[in-house]
Amino acid sequence: MMNVLLISPGYPADMPQFTRGLAEVGARVFGVGDTPEAMLPRLVKRSLTGYLQVPSLWDDDAVARQVTAWKGMARIHRVECLWEPGMVLAARLREALGVPGLNVEETLPFRDKELMKQALDRAGVRTPRHYKADTVAACWDAVNELGFPVILKPISGAGSADTYRVNDIEELRAVLPRLHHVPEVSVEEFIDGDEFTFDTITIEGDIAFQNVAWYRPRPLIARSNEWISPQVIALRNLDVPHLAEGIAMGRKVIEVLGFKTGFTHMEWYRKADGEVVFGEIAARPPGAHQVDQMKYVCDFDVFREWGRAVCWHAFEADLSYDYNVATVYKRARGQGVIREIEGWQEMQQAFGDHIVWDNLLPVGATRRNWRHTLVSDGFLMMRHPDLQQTLAMADTVGNSLHLYAAP
């Protein structure tokens, strides 16, 4: 019997599916979280063998004490966490319980962007030139060394939150006060190019599944302009020249950082001159339902195969990359409650057979804060075997589907 301790089984949004995946491959899943058990999603309750509610997931010492004293927990064989803020806690629990997987020292380069880049620099992986800064003066010094434009981002951040492109002195003066709540930032060379992901499920360092997605436009631009409908395109054909160096770089990063078993999510850039530059890696899957994209590319249960990989070091899906999959995230115009969705019937008529998921907020729902979530006010997910047709569908949805909100 395989007993798995899973941190935060009910949150974020796709965690219930990962909890299900573990249970369906024969694991007994013991959840730890700060959500009351009665409020867990039904799928999570059905998949758990036991659950420990803790006052806060962000007090590592207290959680470790509570877990090790948990009377209802069986002997644990794996500790898993797929949420960025809990990665170090998972490592602490592995050490406390004596189970395999990344320990604290091995986890830190996946959380600290400077440690990550330093390790990759030593191994000859091309990263943006970078400096660590914990004061305003240090930021100015780093900018003086790098020159404009630069990127400022949190050392231990996730996604593109609190990330800024700074083009000149006036913009730097405006941005620095917005980062007062961030203890340390990475000041980086700005890389101008297309941005891609490289996502994997690995088993003892060997890649069992790989995915490449293309951001249109790159997240930094999408996060800075409310009118944009961001797109993420999961690509069907990975055996093309313009992806080869990025994939090879991602494989080397896994080797350099010693990642063994589980999900990874990487981001990298391809410049106009063909040079590839590595961005960052996380020891977790991507968010914003990009794991579901992978499912629709190959028609397999990603969550279950991840569970099989971490529990049994096996992968049984017969992978066939049949589709490109586009997710187009929409942001309502106006503030308040969604009052109208314009163009939806036209999208259904034009692309109905290719739409695999309509996740748009319904009329009557309150608009979300677009700065706080990539999912924004929902999305359409579509697939097609031909890449150009997939891009044309995505652009049509981006340009012709509109949500309107009003008080």
CATH H-level, domain 129-189: superfamily:
ATP-grasp fold, A domain (3.30.1490.20)
Strand 2-7 and strand 78-80: the pairing is parallel
CA 200, CA 250: separation in Å to the nearest integer? 9
pLDDT the model gives residue 159:
56
Tell me: domain 194-322, CATH 3.30.470.20, correct?
Answer: yes
Strand 27-33 and strand 48-53: the pairing is parallel
Range list of H helices, 313-356: 344-351
Tell me the residue type at 178: R
pLDDT the model gives residue 206:
98
As a whole number of Å, the CA-based R_g of the chain is 21
pLDDT < 70 stretches in the chain: 157-160
Tell me the residue type at 376: S
Collapsed DSSP state (helix, strand, coil) of residue 287 = coil
pLDDT the model gives residue 11:
94
pLDDT the model gives residue 362:
97
Fold of domain 2-102: Rossmann fold (3.40.50)
pLDDT the model gives residue 154:
87
Decide: residue 258, CB within 10 A, 0-12 exposed, 13-18 middle, 19+ buried: exposed
Q: How many residues in the chain?
A: 407
For the chain, domain boundaries: 2-102, 129-189, 194-322, 323-407
pLDDT the model gives residue 157:
63
CA 265, CA 160: separation in Å to the nearest integer? 14
Distance, CA of 405 to chain centre: 28
pLDDT the model gives residue 181:
87
pLDDT the model gives residue 160:
60
